[in-house]
Chain A
Amino acid sequence: MKTIVEVKNLVKKFPIGDGFFTALKGVNLIFTEGEFTGLVGPSGSGKTTLLNIIGTLDVPTDGDVIVLSKSVGNLSPKEAAQLRKEELGFIFQNYNLLPVYTVFENVEFPLLLLKMSAGERKQRVLETLEWVGLTDKVKSRPSQLSGGECQRVAIARAMVKRPRLVLADEPTANLDAANSHHILQTMEKLNRELKTTFIFATHDEKVIGYLHRIIRLADGKVVEDSSPLNSPKGDLKSESSQGTITNNNDLDSSPSGRLGGAL
């Protein structure tokens, strides 16, 4: 499998008062294409910091992170923005949707930055909204949506440009169980169908159940890197199919079931 991210002896320090707080202490990791991986650990373990550096939103203090063959530490702000614009997708805990934009406009935004034609943009946005089951909310504003719907819009926004890597920081932290499962199923489906690499930062047990690879961080260090053979996600899936998620949102019957065909 092709390496998509390589973390080499990564150290990240933040100034606090007269001293420094070391958030990451020599982390070494390799992520390959198509992974569905989670950085798991308690608050302050360094998972979000690692995610931010992989996402080129922050820079290493020491060591290096190679994202899609580009060294994050050596990227100019413009090059980093270019990488984020073209290859990376972000999903945030608080959704971070643009409040004055409609659902359609929020999802369309990354394509505007890519200067895609209006026709192509429309087609892509509607197609992506179909994957996440939000075609009936095209004209709604984020304030008119539930938390689960907002996060689905955020996923659509992250996926609309077909990024090679999606970074999700606590994507289910603000969601109830039913919505969390639906969001995770959606992402897992996209990962499976589009071969998009997903890296999560989470301490949510529901998310952990879906992960194909779990990297446990504690005190800025990797303490466990495992690939669970018997993921509990099957059980969670059965839970969601027992009626917790409405039929409209059921991936098997939703248009996202036709994901492969659409691509």
Chain B
Amino acid sequence: MTMIKMALRSLIGNGLKTWLNVFVLSFTFVLIIFMQGLLEGWNRQAVTDTVTWEIAGGQYWSQKYDPYDPFSIDSSAAVVPSSFRKEYDAHDIEPVLYAKGTIYPGGRMQGVLLKGIRPDQHLLALPTYLLKADGAEIPVIMGAHMAKQANLKVNDLVTLRWRDVNGTFEAVDIRVAGIFRTSVPTVDIGQIWLPLDELQKMTLQPNACTILITKPEIPIQQLSAWPFKDQTELTKQTAAMIQAKSKGYNVFYFIFLSMALIAIFDTQTLSIFRRQREIGTLVALGMTQKQVVSLFTLEGTMNALLAILVGTIWGLPIFVAFAVNGIHIPMDVSSFGVPMADKMFPYFTLKLVAGTISFIMVITALVSYWPAHKIARMKPTDAIRGKAL
């Protein structure tokens, strides 16, 4: 208690110097928590968006389907198992057929992945109702990024060439029925969505599909020909990509943390020079060297405590405001290859806040201890005269 009182007196007595340190440290606290919250929010948003746009409750993959082997895509489809008949009719399970194709927008040739889906599906956020459009040409929808790449607009016609299951080339004009905006690049980049029955006819694969997307509540069936992939497995890659990108942010994290710690370390180290006479006096007045170390360590740690208080006062309203209203991302980030919405919502967990605070508290105590430990080795007689260092 006495130590706390002494450390507090020193902190208050140091006035502006203390408050400058506290502000720098509080800035670090807030910034680190905010950046981590942003990454956490991004992660959650990416997973949620991927589930909403692509995964739903999980996917059954045709045994022959290998997403990493583009040459086998055309031959990876299989007939929808009869055990899914009830769910199929109720639209609780949605088949998607994959096929390779080539489009010729403006005389250029561009390879695409064709995805056939039922227009009246309701498991994914895709605006597949646009595929119901009447007309001579096959209606297709695509993501904004794909449309931009191919320089296509709604109602534009473009020639599509593909091969059927026998390897025969066919070609037809398709019409862009709709362009959707999504934060999930895996349903956008290089892909064209068209009605499932059209694609089945085009590829001569009646009733076939490559994957089956399920509604979340549907009981999982164990079928050797259709292995099931749950949400965790399917979003693993997204999470891994975000984690990889977050490493770049960690550089900033450590720069800011280092700045704050250098400020504290600097103050504490300078204290050795500036306050050596004071330290000698404390020893002469009856403090042990251990007590002096404790006092200075406590003083440094109290900087962190005050910074938490100050950071809470000015940081909390900022956290709440951004968590509620989100942060607009002005740049086009679709090329990142990671789902990123136009607006990001930071997500602050108790674990994140408590973890960051604890981490900084420990680091602060350490950088305060080191110079204090050096103080303790001073000869009191030299310290009193101010010539120990």
Interface residues in chain A, defined as those with a beta carbon under 8 Å from any beta carbon in chain B: 52, 55, 57-58, 77-78, 81-82, 84-86, 88, 90, 92, 94, 96-101, 105, 109-110, 112-113, 115, 141, 157
Nearest 4 A/B pairs, CB to CB: A100-B13, A85-B286, A96-B281, A81-B288
Within the complex, the shortest CB–CB distance from A107 to chain B, in Å, comes to 11
- B287-A81 in contact (CB<8A): yes
A96 near B384: Cβ-Cβ < 8 Å = yes
Residues 6-37 of chain B, each 1 if its beta carbon lies under 8 Å from chain A, else 0: 10011011100000000000000000000000
- The smallest beta-carbon distance between B68 and chain A, in angstroms, is 66
Residues of B within 8 A of A (CB): 2, 5-6, 9-10, 12-14, 277-278, 280-289, 291, 379-381, 384, 386
Chain A residues closer than 8 Å to B284, beta-carbon distance = 55, 57, 84, 90, 92, 96
- Bound together, the chains give a CA A96 to CA B281 distance in angstroms of 6
Q: B280 contacts which chain A residues (CB < 8 A)?
A: 96
Q: Which residues of A contact B286 (CB under 8 A)?
A: 81-82, 84-86, 88, 110, 113
Q: With A57-B384, A113-B2 in contact, do A99 and B288 touch (Cβ < 8 Å)?
A: no
Q: Could you list 12 A-B pairs, sorted by A, with CB under 8 Å?
A: A57-B283, A57-B384, A58-B381, A78-B288, A88-B286, A96-B277, A96-B384, A97-B281, A100-B9, A100-B14, A113-B285, A141-B13
Partner among B6, B13, B291 whose Cβ is within 8 Å of the Cβ of A99: B13
The answer to whether B9 and A101 touch across the interface, beta carbons within 8 angstroms, is yes
A77 / chain B contacts, CB cutoff of 8 Å = 288-289
Number of A-B contacts (CB under 8 A): 70
Q: Roughly how many angstroms separate A113 CA and B277 CA in the complex, as a whole number?
A: 18
User: Which residues of chain B come closer than 8 Å to A97, judged between CB atoms?
Assistant: 281
B289 in contact with A84 (CB, 8 Å): no
Partner of A98, one of B5, B12, B278, B289: B278
Instruction: Please state if B2 and A112 are interface contacts (CB–CB under 8 Å).
Output: yes
Partner of A94, one of B6, B277, B283, B291: B277
CB-nearest residue of chain B relative to A48?
B381
Contacts of A82 in B (CB 8 A): 286
Query: Is the beta-carbon distance between A115 and B2 smaller than 8 angstroms?
Result: yes
- Considering the complex, give the chain A residue whose CB is closest to the CB of B383: A57
Which A residues are CB-close (under 8 A) to B379?
A: 58
**Inter-chain pairs besides A57-B380, A81-B288, 15 sampled, C-beta below 8 Å:** A58-B380, A77-B289, A85-B287, A90-B281, A90-B285, A96-B277, A96-B280, A96-B384, A97-B281, A99-B13, A100-B10, A110-B286, A113-B285, A113-B286, A141-B13
Chain A CB within 10 A, most for which of B9, B10, B13, B284: B284
Q: Which residues of chain B are within 8 angstroms of A58 by Cβ–Cβ distance?
A: 379-381
Complex Cα gap A157–B285 (Å): 9
CA A77 to CA B386, docked complex, whole Å = 21
Chain A residues lying within 8 Å of B12, measured Cβ to Cβ, are 100
Q: What residues on B are CB-neighbors of A85 within 8 Å? A: 285-287
A61 to chain B, nearest CB (A): 14
Given the complex, which residues of B lie within 8 Å of A78, measured CB to CB?
288
Contacts of A110 in B (CB 8 A): 285-286
The CA-CA distance from A84 to B289 in the complex, in Å, is: 13
